Homo-oligomer: A and B are copies of this chain.
Amino acid sequence: MNDTPLILVTNDDGIHAPGIRALIEEVMPLGRVLVVAPDKPQSAMGHAITIHSFLRLNAVDLIDGAEAWSCSGTPVDCVKLAIYKLLGGRRPDFLVSGINHGSNISINVLYSGTMSAAVEGAMEAVPSVGFSLMDHGIEADFSQARTVVRSVMRNVLTHGLAAGTCLNVNIPKNRGEELKGMRICRQARANWEDEFETRLDPTNKEYYWLRGEFKNEDHGEDTDAWAVAHGFVSIVPTQYDMTAHHAIAELNTWKHELG
């Protein structure tokens, strides 16, 4: 057993995104870093894994002192390949995912490849944190986000995380003002009002582009949506147990008859 913690880093924007570089630089002082991240953007891939095709890994010279691999698959594939191929089944001591270019608040936790990688880490009993900066720009300013990474990781190293949980950390866009602080939140009950933009191809056949608008009608002040809208960093403890435990009693009153 080695005393230096092993930290697995991944993301969904791809290994060459500025956000993962910022994250690697912030966690390198904490231990040995292994980067396994997608070779292309894999946003909105959710918890998808590759079962109908094979996977590739390619060594990448990314940052001095960090072993880095690009992977042909999804963010969750990256976590599985890191643990079961590169580490031979050994679990890293921590997993960090991001820093995502864009928000992962509310139900976006389900669509997000960044957060799905963190959830996969939790399934593997690895203390895992996903970080997202609410700024899609390639020129996004990660300086405040880096401060948040340092603060959250100090806590995770000190306290660990409850079994079966990971953290979903969202950081407001840097508008030149100080962050107001950090809030422990629940996931807002918001949703996407989707729309499909219809176009015609050169043979006059329709095709559709997904365009959605995020609508939050959950007015609780304990939500991630409220926190980031008010200048706070939101931290949502997130679990892979999707059981609606509160609904079990009611379902047991139903008559379940076969035939």
Residues of A at under 8 Å CB distance from B? 41, 43-52, 54-57, 74, 76-77, 80-81, 83-85, 107, 109-111, 116, 119, 123-124, 147-148, 151, 155, 159, 161-162, 164-165, 178-179, 181-182, 184, 186-187, 189, 191-192, 194-196, 198-199, 205-210, 233, 235-248, 250-252, 254-259
Contact = CB atoms under 8 A, between A and B. Distances in A.
A111 B47 contact: yes
Nearest to A184: B251
Most interface-central of A235, A241, A245 (chain B CB within 10 A):
A241
A247 B162 contact: yes
Contact of A241 (B57, B189, B192, B257): B189
Contacts of A84: 194-196
A52 B74 CA distance: 14
A155 to B, nearest CB: 5
Contacts of A209: 54-55
A227 to B, nearest CB: 12
A57 B209 CA distance: 12
A49 B258 contact: no
A147 B56 CA distance: 43
B238 A244 contact: yes
Contacts of A85: 196, 198, 208
Given A43-B51, A195-B84, A196-B81, A237 B248 contact: yes
